[in-house]
Amino acid sequence: MSDTTQSGPVLAADGTPLKRSLARALRMQKVRALMLIAPLLLFVLLTFILPIADMLFRSVENRIVSDTLSETVVRLEDWDALSGETPDEAVYESLYYDLFVAAEAKEHTKLGTRLNYEQTGISSLFRGSGRKVDDIGEDHVKAIERASDGALKDEALWFEIMTGGSNAEGNTALLDAQRLKMEQLTSESFAADIGFVPGAEISELFPRMAVAYTDFALFTAVADEDVVAEEDPWETVFVAFAHSVQADGGAEALASYSGPGAAELQAAAAAIADLEPIAFKTAFLEIDEDWGDLGNWRTMQTYSPTYTSGYFLNSIDMQKGPEGAEPRPENQQIYMTLFVRTMIMSLMITGSCILLGYPVAWILANLPTRSANMLMILVLLPFWTSLLVRTSAWKVMLQQQGVINDVLVWLGLVGDDARLVMINNQFGTIVAMTHILLPFMILPMYSVMQTINPTYLRAAKSLGATNWTAFWRVYFPQSVPGIGAGSILVFILAIGYYITPEIVGGTKGVFISNRIAYHISSSLNWGLAAALGSILLAVVLLLYWAYDKIVGIDNVKLG
């Protein structure tokens, strides 16, 4: 704590180092001060900082692909997306098992929705394939079930085969690995005791089958809350068995197996001997020919990492192509335009707030107290009116059959057939938002102007300055901190506004925040919304930094 080795510590009267004494004396004070702000701190942390951090995190988070298709994404890594060929059989094989489990857990549609943000059509591909995935290897499954007079239709026999009998050695490592996989897939806990441990022997000879059965067991016991030994195993178990036996070395493995049900498995192997080995690729292409589409596979490969820059690229009208980031097709570009529009319109709103607010603030600061209070109420009045009411009022004022147009037509300034379009465009947004944000400009300006001593103006005049020079050279520079504070407030509020642009902005006058709101509540693409929000936040912080560099933040005064 205290650096005491070099010059010797300064000691308090009781011999303890002075620094420690001081720290102890101040600790009580600090704790007390902290307790006072603790409720607010906690509230802000829970309701503001954590949600924001969570939202920002969503802008790069992409677990869903690797969680749902855990094996497929690993195999897909080796696929060369530019080769012009679909991935090889092994990838389709993994896809079969991953998709089957995902379909059982009903997670495949979520993945479809996620990937659909990047490539249209994937959503229906996943939804359709999820329904039909259990048809793959149908003939093999039936053949195995028919073998040995249907002995392998018996759930208990399967249970025994897979556990390897009551005293067999268990493979808990496999069980734990699959537990983890299921937890990642469903985001639920699979920690319960399921009354099943895969046998060590069977999981060594037929690893794929053991995995498939363990998945089944976990899902049955935990999600369906059934007894594993009383349920029919999933088709994947049969398919895994058939595929392993028909693969190289499968026959030998089976021959060396001597555990429970060895005879029945032998019979099953014999029953499928005449069938062609299962071809997963062909089977998937039969389900949906889009599984042969390179674009779909490319998308899956691109978005397989746990974290992705895809949302951010999307936010700036780019996308991840096979050779890295590339601009989106022109007809899909929207966000940059919106960002730029948001910035420019916010600046215009800030500017008009300054122009309209400055004289009002000046009058407020220079009137006698009583009239100033009256005027202040008028300034604050909009605060006490609902935002929607105010915005709707502007709708009434500005629309083509509205008050202003009617008056102009009545005065003959505008022809009845040439009514001005003042709403559902940028003009409408600027007018309505200037009105709504004006108090935020006036209040800081007013409180700064109030502190400017009127003798400065008198001094300037006594030194020979005209009214205008005195104002411009002496009063105005001193009121700049108020303008700065008001501008920062108004500008930051403006670029995040969305209710008013939504109502009066039409298509030409909407802001980036409207798009964010759309992705949050309609398209449910929260990752993109989070990325757009993060960029907006970054832009604000950047502008704030620039403002600090150029004007100096200590030049901002709220009073």
Partner 1 sequence: MDSNDPVAQWNGAVLTLRDKERDKTAAKKKTNGEPDLADASNTDAFVEFERVQKSYDGETLVVKDLNLTLPKGEFLTMLGPSGSGKTTCLMMLAGFETATHGDIRLDGVSINNIPPHKRGIGMVFQNYALFPHMTIAENLSFPLEVRGMGKSEREAKVTRALDMVEMGSFGGRRPSQLSGGQQQRVALARALVFEPELVLMDEPLGALDKQLREKMQFEITHLAHQLGITTVYVTHDQTEALTMSDRVAVFDDGRIQQLAPPDQLYEEPANSFVAQFIGENNTLEGVIKEISDGRALVELDGGEVIDAMPINVSEVGQRTRVSIRPERVEYNKERLQEGVHTLKAEVLEFIYMGDIFRTRLKVAGNDEFIIKTRNAPDQVRLQPGQQIEIGWLPEDCRALDA
Q: Strands 324-327 and 318-321, how do they pair?
A: antiparallel
Three-class secondary structure assignment of 308-319: CCHHHHHHCCEE
Phi–psi pair at 401, nearest 5 degrees:
-100, 20
Least Cβ distance, residue 460 to partner 1 (angstroms)? 7
Which residue, 203 or 479, has its beta carbon nearer to partner 1?
Answer: 479
Binding mask 471-510 for partner 1 (x = CB under 8 A): --xx--xx--------------------------------
What is the identity of the amino acid at 458?
A: R
Q: CB of 430 within 8 A of CB of 346?
A: no
Query: Residue 325 forms beta bridges with which residues?
Result: 320
3-state secondary structure of 258: coil
Q: CB of 448 within 8 A of CB of 485?
A: yes
Answer for which of 10, 34, 50, 459 binds partner 1 (CB under 8 A) is 459
Answer for which of 430, 470, 528, 529 binds partner 1 (CB under 8 A) is 470
Give the H/E segment covering residue 324: strand 324-327
Answer for which of 251, 387, 465, 543 binds partner 1 (CB under 8 A) is 465
Answer for which of 127, 395, 419, 461 binds partner 1 (CB under 8 A) is 461
Which residue, 70 or 447, has its beta carbon nearer to partner 1?
Answer: 447
Is the sign of the CA dihedral 23, 25, 29, 32 positive or negative?
positive
Which residue, 120 or 466, has its beta carbon nearer to partner 1?
Answer: 466
126: buried, middle or exposed (CB in 10 Å: 19+, 13-18, 0-12)?
Answer: buried
Answer for which of 464, 521, 550, 554 binds partner 1 (CB under 8 A) is 464
The tokens describing 434, both together, are 């200037």
Per CB under 8 A, does 74 bind partner 1?
no
Query: Residue 319 forms beta bridges with which residues?
Result: 326
- Round to whole Å and give the CA distance between 264 and 147: 8
Least Cβ distance, residue 475 to partner 1 (angstroms)? 10
- Round to whole Å and give the CA distance between 168 and 384: 76
Least Cβ distance, residue 546 to partner 1 (angstroms)? 22
Per CB under 8 A, does 466 bind partner 1?
yes
Which residue, 309 or 555, has its beta carbon nearer to partner 1?
Answer: 555
Question: Which range binds partner 1 by CB under 8 A, 142-150, 207-215, 303-311, 450-458?
Answer: 450-458
Per CB under 8 A, does 460 bind partner 1?
yes
What is the identity of the amino acid at 515?
A: R
Answer for which of 453, 507, 521, 522 binds partner 1 (CB under 8 A) is 453
Phi–psi pair at 307, nearest 5 degrees:
-120, 145
Question: Which range binds partner 1 by CB under 8 A, 13-21, 232-240, 392-400, 464-472?
Answer: 464-472
Least Cβ distance, residue 468 to partner 1 (angstroms)? 10
Question: Which range binds partner 1 by CB under 8 A, 380-388, 457-465, 487-495, 507-515?
Answer: 457-465
Answer for which of 63, 456, 524, 542 binds partner 1 (CB under 8 A) is 456
Least Cβ distance, residue 453 to partner 1 (angstroms)? 7
Which residue, 463 or 546, has its beta carbon nearer to partner 1?
Answer: 463
- Alpha helix positions (H), 117-234: 122-132, 138-150, 155-163, 172-186, 200-205, 207-218
Least Cβ distance, residue 376 to partner 1 (angstroms)? 25
Question: Which range binds partner 1 by CB under 8 A, 67-75, 95-103, 104-112, 461-469?
Answer: 461-469
- Round to whole Å and give the CA distance between 264 and 36: 74
The tokens describing 126, both together, are 């996943």
Phi–psi pair at 252, nearest 5 degrees:
-65, -45
Which residue, 50 or 553, has its beta carbon nearer to partner 1?
Answer: 553
Which residue, 384 or 468, has its beta carbon nearer to partner 1?
Answer: 468
Least Cβ distance, residue 473 to partner 1 (angstroms)? 7
